[in-house]
Every structure is written in C-alpha cells, then in structure tokens.
C-alpha cells in the first residue's frame, strides 16, 4: 500500500479482451443476443428470465417512453421502483438517452407521508431532477406526497412498454454522468455520487482480473440496486462483461435466507457479494433440515460493505463445510460508491489473510503490532486484500508504519465530487485523495479495516447517520430536546451493528412511563427512517454527558451507558474472531 512510484508506468490490465467501449450502452449493444442476462426469482413458481437481446428491447422501449415524457440528455431522473427487470431496464434507458438516473430506496412499510415528502423534495432539489418514475406498487397513500422541487413531474413506470421498431438514438457519452448513487441519510446528509461512463468502465476493467472473471461466471445477488454493491457488482459488471445474473429482492431473501443457497446450487452461480452480517444470518437462520445444498460452484462469496469479521466467516464455513464449499470460496473486499466499487480485493486463490494484533498497543499507541494468535492480548483482523490496479491507498497516521489511521484512496476512476454539494466534496476530497472516514492499517501490502472515524452506523449493510435518529427522538414531547445520543454497537448474535439510543426525559416523574415513550419513539423512527431500533434507554435529566460546547458527547455518553448496562458489553471480551 506504499505509494506507487509516480514515474512508473500504469499497471497493464491483463484483461485485454474487453473491447474499448466508450459507454455502458456500447457494452450492452455488444452483448450476445440469446445469452441469458437476468433471472428475477421470487419463488419456485414465479421467476422471469430475459436474455441480452430482450433486455436491449426493453431498454429501447423504456427509452422511448422516457423520451415521450420529456427526458432530455443530461437530465436527472429519479427511479423509485421495486427490485426487478423493469427497474434495471428503465435505469439503462435513462443513461441511453444521456440522462443520469438515480435509484432511491422504496418507501418502507408505514412510511410517514410528511417525512417522505420532505426527503424526496430534498433529493429532487439537490439533483434538480426532471422526472421521478414510480412503479405501480408505489403506495397509494404516499402518492399525494410525492413532492418534487422545481416543477419536476412524476410518472408511473411502464412494466411492459410497447415494442419500438427503431431504438431511440443514444446520447450517452464517455465523460457524461452515467448515473448517481445516493448514500445514507435524510435530506441534509444525502450525498449523491455521480459517476461517468468512463469511470465505471475503467473501474470494471481493472476489477475483472482481480476477480479472475470468465464468460462462464454466473452472479447471484439479493442486494438492493440503490447500493453500490448491488448496482456495480451485480448489475453493471454483468452488463459490461455479458454475464448471467440470478437475482431476488432483499425482502424475499431476508424472509427466506435459504433461497440464496438454493439458487446458487440450482443455477450453479460462481460469484456473489454480501455484507458481513449475511454470513452469520445464513449460518443461524437456515434450518438444519434445509441445509442440503451443493455450493461447489461458488468461486467467490465476497464479504463487503461492513467490517469483515473472522467469527462470522468461520461460523458460515463450519456450517456449510459439508456442502462442497471450496476452502477459498469466502473472500473479502473494501468498496464504496466514491471509488465506483472495490478499492481492494483479496486474492481469490487463498482464503483472506488474517493478522493477529496486540490490542493494548492498538488502544494506547494506535499502532498495529503483529503478535502470536496465542498472545492473550491478540485480536484478529481479516484482510480486505490489496488495492486493485489503478488504486492507491494511504493510511493517514502520525504513528508511522503500521499506524492505524484514516484510509485515504486515490484512483484512476474516482468520483469527482458529490452532486451539487461542493461543501461535502471539499471535506471528502483533499489533494486528490478521498478521505474515507474509515480507520485501518496496512500490513504486507494488504489493507485491514478496523473501524470508523465517522459516527456512521452500519446495520446489515445499510449506512445510518446517528444524527437522523437523534433528531427524531428529540422530537418526542417527553424527551429533553437535544439530549439524545444514538450509536452503533456490534451485536455478536447478528454479526452486524444494532442501533442504541439513550435519551433524557424532561423530568424524573416521566421515567414511570418509559415503556409508552419507548414504543412511541420506535414508531416514529420506523415511520421516518424505516428502521427498527432494538435498544432504547430513557434516563433522568442531566444523565447524558455533554461536551464543553454543551452538546451531547456521543463517545463519552456511549461509554457511560456501556458501564451501566452489562447487557451491552460483549461477553468474553472484545476480541474479534476468537
């Protein structure tokens, strides 16, 4: 991870066979007509497959429809559609026309209409969107609340658009925005990452050799398409390299996790990406009687988008060791939308490297000093691999070599800034380096991610800003305004973080009603953010620790809560993977 010599020639991509496409549409046009592209699987009697030829027809038909409702080159188009082939075709249709589509998460159950209106208005204002496309399942109750800024219209998506005999002309250009991805957060914190066709193609060209991609690869995915892992690894990658994709919706998978392994088995899938929690979820939530899979086709199941935990990987491996899982099948990478996707990738020919580090030196000196795994102070970290060609990684640390610090990234195909947000761009991009906000260290050229500098909470791969949760809790009439702290706590049972909220009530007497207030607060958070908070602690006035500026100090309040509540402390210490 040392800085490459700037005078050295750029690494040569071993993948010389991919034609020099200028745009993603060029790649789609070059795809073999009859080769299956997407299978959308819902259950055993509800599944749809389209080949590349049919997908192209759908893209052209959707493009004709978008053009008929006024979409022009360089417009932004918001897509709020359920996971599936119509969403994918509409997305590609928008960039075919030279517009930049942005997929937003589907409104959750019981979304608060006022909050939804506010959030959508904020995003559309930031994007200066021409149009929002909603599918037929979009909740009727929210229809009247689709408020777009600047006179932008919304239309209902066409699930089966009429065939067009001549495709509308493509206005996609290499250096135009191909699409915009949104990060977590509500209006104030939403960040749109705009990526050009050139950036996406360049990144995928360099990623492919690290994945040893071959035309026979078949990708499985349940990942949402508004997330970089779902969009880039499981839609753009197969589109550009003409691979098959077997997909289901995140909701269907989470209710029946065994379906993922059944599909990998039945369709002989070779590649998949999932966040860390999924490894434990698959190990614990698939009933033993359902575990008769043949997973021998799986070349790489890549742990991505949450800190990689040795314990989660080991649990998955031991649960499915009799299912033909290759010893090298579980892999890791470090990815984010700002670098298009994976900045690093583990070596697929061996299991990801593990490093045993002295936990006391981490705490006291912020350095990663390797020790024996038998050392009582040893803590295990799993490598996220080496930078892919064209990506440089630097650890910003005063502690010298092996120091733990913020991970900075520079790449040939990095984003150039957050859409219409120069303020946020200036914070994130400094001297050509992207400040990831994640902490890590480098050892023998491999990257190890240890935590986050930012306060972001990652629940099952979803990024959540604590400020969004705190604002909602503060709005409850019994809560002392501003005396709220939300933070993430790793839940070893779930293999991911859970959200913990601690808040002060206005008066001691109100503590008698904590159960009622808790239920009301849960209800509000679900209605506004669509997330369930497992732990809410209501405390007497003046309990929350304040900073010298008089604001709640998140870290000190968290420490105080952990001291008071045994159930929040990990059993048997804090070691990872032991």
Partner 1 sequence: MTDQQRQMADYIMNQLIRRPGILVEETTPLVSSGLIDSLLLVDILQKLEDVTGTRIPAGKVRAADLDTIQLMFATAARVGRPRAR
Q: Which residues sit at the interface with partner 1, rule CB under 8 A?
A: 41-46, 108-110, 248, 251-252, 254-257, 259, 277, 281, 285, 287, 460, 494, 515, 518-519, 522-523, 525-527, 531-534
Nearer to partner 1, 26 or 252 (CB): 252
User: CA 104 to CA 363: how far, in whole Å?
Assistant: 39
Nearer to partner 1, 41 or 381 (CB): 41
- Angle (deg, nearest 10), helices 310-319 and 276-285: 40
339: left (phi over 0), alpha (psi -120 to 50) or beta: alpha
3 state SS for 81-111:
CCCCHHHHHHHHHHHHCCCEEEECCCCCCCC
The helix/strand/coil state of 224 is: coil
Q: How far is the CB of 526 from partner 1 (least distance, A)?
A: 4
Q: How far is the CB of 512 from partner 1 (least distance, A)?
A: 12
Residues 6+ positions from 521 with CB-CB distance below 8 Å: 472, 473, 476, 479, 501, 503, 533, 536
Which residue is it, tokens 């990144």? Answer: 203
DSSP label at residue 132: E
Strands 433-443 and 446-452: antiparallel
Nearer to partner 1, 250 or 389 (CB): 250
Q: How far is the CB of 493 from partner 1 (least distance, A)?
A: 10
Q: How far is the CB of 106 from partner 1 (least distance, A)?
A: 11
Q: How far is the CB of 532 from partner 1 (least distance, A)?
A: 3
Nearer to partner 1, 532 or 563 (CB): 532
User: CA 441 to CA 359: how far, in whole Å?
Assistant: 13
State both tokens at 194. 């705009």
Nearer to partner 1, 47 or 214 (CB): 47
Q: How far is the CB of 285 from partner 1 (least distance, A)?
A: 5
Nearer to partner 1, 528 or 576 (CB): 528
| Whether the Cβ atoms of residue 66 and residue 77 lie closer than 8 Å to each other | yes
Residues 6+ positions from 153 with CB-CB distance below 8 Å: 69, 70, 130, 131, 132
Strands (E), 453-526: 457-459, 462-464, 479-491, 496-505
State both tokens at 456. 């972001």
User: CA 484 to CA 480: how far, in whole Å?
Assistant: 8
Nearer to partner 1, 249 or 450 (CB): 249
Q: How far is the CB of 315 from partner 1 (least distance, A)?
A: 16
Closest CA to 252 of 452, 42, 530: 42
User: CA 88 to CA 295: how far, in whole Å?
Assistant: 28
- Angle (deg, nearest 10), helices 466-474 and 514-529: 130
Q: How far is the CB of 494 from partner 1 (least distance, A)?
A: 6
Nearer to partner 1, 26 or 520 (CB): 520
Q: How far is the CB of 109 from partner 1 (least distance, A)?
A: 5
Nearer to partner 1, 124 or 248 (CB): 248
Q: How far is the CB of 43 from partner 1 (least distance, A)?
A: 3
User: CA 261 to CA 269: how far, in whole Å?
Assistant: 10
Nearer to partner 1, 177 or 533 (CB): 533
């Amino acid at each position: 991870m040392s800085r490459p010599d700037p005078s050295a020639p750029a690494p040569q991509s071993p993948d010389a066979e991919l034609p020099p496409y200028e745009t993603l549409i060029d790649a789609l046009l070059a795809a073999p007509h009859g080769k299956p592209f997407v299978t959308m699987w819902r259950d055993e009697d509800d599944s749809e497959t389209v080949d590349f030829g049919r997908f192209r027809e759908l893209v052209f038909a959707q493009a004709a429809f978008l053009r008929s409702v006024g979409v022009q080159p360089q417009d932004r188009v918001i897509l709020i559609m359920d996971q599936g082939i119509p969403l994918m075709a509409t997305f590609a249709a928008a960039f075919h026309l030279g517009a930049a589509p942005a997929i937003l998460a589907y409104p959750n159950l019981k979304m608060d209409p006022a909050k939804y209106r506010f959030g959508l208005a904020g995003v559309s204002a930031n994007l200066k969107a021409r149009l929002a496309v909603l599918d037929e399942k979009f909740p009727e109750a929210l229809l009247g609340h689709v408020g777009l800024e600047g006179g932008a219209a919304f239309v209902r998506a066409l699930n089966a658009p009429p065939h067009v005999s001549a495709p509308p002309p493509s206005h996609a250009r290499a250096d135009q925005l191909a699409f915009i991805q949104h990060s977590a957060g509500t209006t104030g914190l939403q960040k749109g990452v705009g990526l050009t066709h050139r950036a996406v193609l360049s990144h995928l060209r360099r990623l492919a050799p690290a994945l040893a991609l071959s035309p026979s690869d078949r990708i499985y995915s349940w990942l949402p398409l508004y997330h970089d892992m779902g969009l880039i690894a499981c839609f753009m990658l197969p589109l550009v390299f003409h691979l098959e994709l077997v997909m289901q919706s995140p909701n269907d998978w989470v209710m029946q996790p065994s379906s993922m392994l059944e599909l990998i088995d039945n369709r002989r899938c070779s590649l998949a990406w999932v966040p860390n929690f999924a490894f434990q979820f698959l190990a614990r939530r698939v009933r033993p009687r359902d575990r008769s899979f043949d997973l021998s086709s799986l070349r790489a199941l890549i742990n991505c988008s949450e800190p990689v935990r040795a314990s989660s990987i080991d649990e998955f491996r031991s649960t499915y060791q009799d299912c033909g899982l290759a010893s090298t099948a579980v892999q890791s990478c470090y990815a984010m939308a700002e670098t298009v996707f994976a900045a690093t990738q583990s070596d697929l020919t061996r299991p990801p490297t593990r490093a045993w580090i002295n936990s006391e030196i981490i705490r006291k000196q912020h350095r990663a000093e390797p020790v024996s795994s038998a050392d009582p102070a040893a803590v295990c970290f799993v490598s996220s691999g080496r930078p892919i060609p064209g990506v440089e990684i630097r650890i910003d640390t005063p502690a010298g070599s092996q120091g733990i610090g913020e991970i900075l990234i520079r790449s040939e195909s990095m984003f150039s800034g957050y859409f219409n947000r120069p303020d946020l761009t200036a914070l994130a991009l400094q001297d050509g380096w992207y400040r990831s906000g994640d902490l890590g260290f480098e050892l023998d050229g491999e990257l190890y991610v240890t935590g986050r500098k930012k306060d972001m909470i990652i629940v099952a791969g979803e990024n959540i800003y604590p400020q969004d949760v705190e604002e909602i809790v503060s709005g409850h009439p019994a809560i002392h305004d501003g005396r709220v702290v939300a933070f993430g706590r790793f839940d070893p049972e779930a293999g991911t973080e859970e959200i913990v909220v601690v808040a002060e009530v206005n008066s001691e007497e109100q503590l008698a009603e904590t159960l009622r207030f808790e239920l009301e607060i849960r209800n509000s958070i679900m209605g506004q953010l669509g997330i369930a908070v497992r732990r809410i602690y209501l405390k007497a006035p003046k309990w929350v620790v304040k900073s010298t500026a008089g604001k709640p100090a998140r870290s000190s309040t968290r420490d105080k809560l952990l001291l008071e509540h045994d159930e929040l402390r990990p059993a048997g210490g804090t070691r990872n993977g032991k």
